[in-house]
């Protein structure tokens, strides 16, 4: 049970307010960095070992999960992944608070999901001051290579995030969204059932 000072910091974190590295130091025991290192160095043939490590690292993990190493996480314990997940190499979770990923989600190489940002004014960045807001990725989302998902974002069911996009606001369900900042380009329709790649425009 957190004591008074710790509870006050946790309350600020949950509200998306500024907190510092020193103030949050009591959370260090929730970091799974040694286990992440071990996972990233486990031979490909040791699928059972990888699975047991992933269960120990993540806050929760569904069935038939593929997470190709290396992956990186600040904590690991704040990441929750559903069933039938595929994460390609160099997936980074900046999970100072929760990242919740639904079922059937696919994430391409070198994607960053960051729950944390820093104040704009340098005087407010002393002691690595930061704020954190949870990320939610709903079922059946596909995120393209080198995309960045920023704090507080929700990506709706079935949507596709184009490669290289910076997702700074919520994306509705069943759209193709691209760009910096990422914007919904078009709705996904039944016409997409008959094409390999969707025509744009």
State the catalytic residues.
118
Distance CA(23)–CA(124), nearest Å, equals 14
Sign of CA dihedral 41, 46, 49, 53: positive
At 190, phi and psi to the nearest 5? -65, -20
Distance CA(32)–CA(125), nearest Å, equals 25
Sign of CA dihedral 72, 36, 108, 94: negative
In 165-189, which positions are buried (b, 16+ CB within 10 angstroms) versus exposed (e)? bebeeebebebbbbeeebeeeeeee
- Alpha helices per DSSP H over the chain: 4-14, 33-40, 47-57
Distance CA(74)–CA(52), nearest Å, equals 19
Closest CA to 61 of 35, 41, 42: 35
């Amino acid at each position: 049970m957190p004591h008074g000072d710790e509870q006050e910091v946790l309350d600020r974190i949950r509200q998306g307010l500024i907190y510092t590295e020193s103030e949050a130091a009591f959370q260090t025991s929730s970091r799974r960095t040694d286990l992440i290192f071990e996972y990233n160095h486990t031979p490909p043939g040791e699928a059972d070992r990888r699975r047991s490590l992933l269960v120990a690292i993540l806050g929760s993990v569904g069935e038939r999960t593929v997470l190709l190493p290396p992956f990186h996480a600040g904590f690991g314990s704040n990441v929750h992944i559903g069933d039938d997940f595929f994460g390609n190499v160099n997936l980074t979770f900046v999970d100072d608070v929760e990242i919740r990923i639904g079922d059937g989600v696919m994430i391409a190489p070198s994607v960053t999901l960051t729950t944390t940002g820093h104040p704009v004014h340098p005087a407010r960045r002393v002691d690595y001051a930061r704020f954190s807001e949870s990320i939610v990725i709903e079922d059946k989302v596909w995120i393209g290579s080198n995309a960045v998902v920023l704090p507080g974002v929700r990506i709706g069911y079935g949507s596709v995030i184009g490669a290289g996009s910076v997702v700074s606001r919520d994306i509705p369900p069943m759209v193709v969204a691209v760009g910096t900042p990422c914007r919904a380009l078009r709705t996904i329709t039944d016409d997409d059932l008959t094409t390999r790649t969707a025509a744009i425009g």
